[in-house]
Structure 1
């Protein structure tokens, strides 16, 4: 533990206080966090939405700008990983459990309660898929691109420590090594903890829901705690083996299993309808991007609440995830040009996500609208996908495959997060001590558990929104700092 910094000890102390708070007074924790969330979404919901749009516009600018040919590293540096392994690792870290959990559930929720259409109509089904594509498309990956590019650029080109605060060096100078820098890194640590805890809670809930569908195991809080405990042991083993072994191999397994599950659902489901749905959803998504990107107010109270419950939550969740995802993607991206990096991180995962929702959401909506499996909209969100599988041939086999995929995504996300938290609390050490990684692994699991106990899925959403708020400002200033550095280095 000699390599740790004050960021580690301060963050660990506050994390333990939070976990104890949740364990001793879960209702009080839920009340305080919910009240804070309500204030932030009411007063600053527009800021979450507007900021994420700025991130995406800046990414597009980088692709077409003169800076696109600059490398993340020295001119002679080459990529450490193959393009396939690189894409698999960034996708596993960036999405993981989220698309599995919401793939069927989100379109069904929008179908049953759409903000701008009659419920449970063909028009509602079309817009439900468009909303899902918007929430998991370019905007999401734009957030990750900003922070990952900044960290990678400063780490591999200017050879500064791979911590969030180091990306502010052009603006703050040596002050990044002082109190201001430590505060930035501590905020990043907490955003990571709560962002990942949200995913772990969702994963545990969905694994429990799947087990309940194919067995007599009830999806109780005890079941979820046991699942978190088991998976915690597994991702600690993976974390111990290091990034080039555990995370790399599991990420490749994830992408293979995800593709197999996707293909099976297409073949066993309404194949022609799903391909048509993908094409129409893609077109609708692209046409609506400008309007949806700036939609943060409405005269309709119900629609305004929908924006808070969905778009603001998602942007906050992904912002909270971004220190973890960004640091991890930066770590594996040395040697790539800025244009290749931004295009890869922004475009490829977006296409896959839109296809994913078209297939799983489309299959669920098809079964619901055609009367094949009425009642899917009545299921709990964590059970929606398994309900859809129950009407497919070999549904039990597909369900088991999905549970395995959720488990591997669970392990990979948590494993990657322990690595990133280790980096951020050891001044950017690319190989943080195992004791540090395991410590953060326990904290992540404990945080997910107390959030589930204090308020279930709602508490997980609340934690993301609250923890993401201060990090919005860090990301916005990071853009200014990166631009200043690119201008300085381009002239050399």
Structure 2
């Protein structure tokens, strides 16, 4: 995929139904939550509780089914099928491809939750007493569960399905295309428009949530460093600056903007992780990484199906954490999966699945183990209960309070703010680009590599995300949009089930699929 190809005139036209329905939906949702913050948050929370109670079993089974399906697919005879022509070389070299895989799926949430989530599970675990050695082991198992193989399997499924139908079956690179074996030509009508439109809405809500988390992390860092006022107005300024820079990246496109930022992300994150490992209790952290990995693998099957039956407190915890995470992964799957497909042309199904499952996963679990065990060690073994109190009161401040116990705290905290700023940019860039692409339709109905939506459309969606985020932050109702993410995950969960069926049907009829021996 060359820059030259990307600069050619784009054979695209606006899909009016998808564009206007998506813009109207996010506008109405944003307006209602801004004008009626308390009522909207109440009803969204009620809806989330109802969804968790009624569909908790479905989420748990679907996530396990997706993981099992992609693992089987990777090692099956279909794993050698290339997303493209048989002799086609990969669109991106290995290192940029790995960097973009890494950055698109991780995002600012890793900084936000890295120390906070293990501490929260340690202090208030489901079904047992908090603050104990047993609770510390359980805390890391639960954190690994939420960030582990299950979620990455969704990205691998969507990426492979969309890439297969776009690059081998010459369908548009759109969410609708993976449903072709089930609905046939009807995907080019309203059925397909509704799938793409809802994928856009889920992505928009996810982007707004991501922007809010990013702004909270950066604001906490600036408050910690410079005693900046912790006010909504400060948040608005941070949001505006972040989105201006993000919009520049969106306009620059995949080759120039997003690939460069992805490489920078990887380097900065690795440096921060190594700093905490070396200056913290190094041997304790290495021991913890080994133990956490073993505990995660040992409890993998049990935790995958654990819905805390006959444990009311555990059920409440499940809805607030595990089911929230599963729905959040599902809501992010449309845009991350589309982006994976966008950068994976020319690679085999096996390469894409194993790349998505293992490359970001190894770093993510190492990050959570090192930051989580550092935080738990301070509270459990060194009497620093204040760190736990900070985690309960202000999740975004947990990271900066943790760094206070390590050398050169102000300088490292400043570096963490910069990392948070850069880490926020790549998912927003890739998400905005994918939203804009979903709002267009190829003039010839096919797929032509290297062409993205026009710049005005990318800028439009960047502005929409910014305006909705500012409105929610000013209204003090950011939590409502986080709840909306969970609700958006439910309809798309059924689409994922169709994806598995459709992809299997298509692979069985692929003329280049290796025959059984």
Match of 1:239 in 2: 250
User: Are 2:176 and 1:165 equivalent residues in the alignment?
Assistant: yes
Moved more, 423-432 or 67-76: 423-432
Q: What CA deviation, in whole Å up to 9, does each residue of 1:373-409 have, x standing for no partner?
A: 3311111111111110011011111111111111011
Q: Is the CA contact (8 Å cut-off) linking 1:191 and 1:321 kept in structure 2?
A: yes
Are 1:221 and 1:453, in contact at CA under 8 Å, matched by a contact in 2? yes
Q: 48, 54, 59: which one pairs with 1:48?
A: 59
CA contact (8 A) 2:41 2:479 kept: no
Name the structure 2 match of 1:137.
Answer: 148
For residue 118 of structure 2, the aligned residue among 107, 131, 136 is 107
- How far apart are the structure 2 equivalents of 1:95 and 1:471? 20
Q: 2:378 aligns with which of 353, 363, 367?
A: 367
Give the equivalent residue in structure 1 for 2:365. Answer: 354
Matched-pair contact (CA < 8 Å) for 1:19–1:446: no
Partners of 2:477 and 2:418 lie apart in 1 by 23
Does structure 1 retain, via aligned residues, the 8 Å contact 2:127–2:311? Answer: no
Distance 1:209 1:460 in 2: 20
Work out whether residues 162 and 427 of structure 1, in 8 Å CA contact, stay in contact via their aligned partners in 2: no
Query: Separation in 1 of the partners of 2:269 and 2:74?
Result: 29
Question: Cα offset for 1:449?
Answer: 3.2
The alpha-carbon distance between structure 1 residues 490 and 361, as it changes in their structure 2 partners (threshold 3 A), is farther
Instruction: Select between 9-18 and 327-336 the one with higher mean Cα deviation.
Output: 9-18
Q: 32-41 or 108-117, which moves further after superposition? A: 32-41
Which of 472, 475, 484 matches 1:463?
A: 484
Matching of residues 418-433 of structure 1 within 5 Å: 418-427=432-441, 430-433=451-454
* 1:291 match: 302
Q: Quick check: 1:147–1:327 contact (8 Å CA) kept in 2?
A: yes
SS of 1:427's equivalent in the other structure is: strand
What's the secondary structure of 1:243's corresponding residue? helix
Partner of 1:309: 320
Offset at residue 372 of structure 1 (A): 5.7
Aligned residue among 34, 43, 68 for 1:57 = 68
Kept in 1: contact 2:83–2:344 (CA 8 A) = yes
Alpha-carbon distance, 1:491 to partner: 6.0
Match for residue 230 of structure 2? 219
1:298, CA displacement in angstroms?
Answer: 2.1
Q: Is the 8 A contact 2:49 2:319 kept in 1?
A: no
Match of 1:334 in 2: 345
1:38 Cα deviation after fit: 1.8
Q: Indicate conservation of the 8 Å contact 1:92/1:413, yes or no.
A: yes
Q: Comparing 24-33 with 49-58, which one deviates more in the overlay?
A: 24-33
2:114 is paired with a residue whose SS is: helix
User: Which residue in the other structure is 2:5 paired with?
Assistant: none
Within 5 A, what are the aligned runs for 1:446-485? 446-454=467-475, 456=477, 458-485=479-506
Cα distance in structure 2, aligned partners of 1:457 and 1:278: 34
Q: Which runs of 4+ in 1 moved over 6 A?
A: none
Q: Among residues 386, 400, 403, which one is paired with 1:386 in the alignment?
A: 400
Task: Quote the Cα distance in structure 1 between the aligned partners of 2:352 and 2:164.
Answer: 11
| In structure 1, distance between residues paired with 2:150 and 2:121 | 19
Separation in structure 2 between the aligned mates of residue 454 and residue 293 of structure 1, nearest angstrom: 37
Cα deviation digits, residues 27-84 of structure 1 (max 9, x gap)? 3322332222121112112222221111101111112211011101111111122222
In structure 1, C-alpha distance between the alignment counterparts of 2:476 and 2:187, rounded to whole Å: 37
TM-score (norm 2): 0.92
- Residue 122 of structure 1 and its aligned partner are, at CA, apart by 1.3
Instruction: Give the TM-score of the pair, scaled to structure 1.
Output: 0.97
Match for 1:407 among 405, 411, 421? Answer: 421
Q: Is the 8 A contact 2:84 2:346 kept in 1?
A: yes
SS in 2 for 1:218: coil
1:273 aligned to 2:287? no
> Which runs of 5 or more residues in structure 1 are unaligned?
none
2:100 aligned to which of 80, 84, 89: 89
Residues 199-239 of structure 1 deviation map (CA, whole Å, 9 limit, x = unaligned): 11111111111111112113322222221111111101111
Alpha carbons 1:52, 1:143 under 8 Å: kept: yes
In structure 2, list runs of 5 or more residues that go unmatched: 1-9
Residue 20 of structure 2 aligns to a residue in which SS?
helix
Shift of 1:447: 2.9
| Structure 1 position 457, deviation (Å) | 5.1
Quickly say closer, same or farther: Cα 1:447–1:300, change in 2 above 3 A: same
Distance 1:171 1:324 in 2: 22
The CA deviation at 1:164 is 0.3
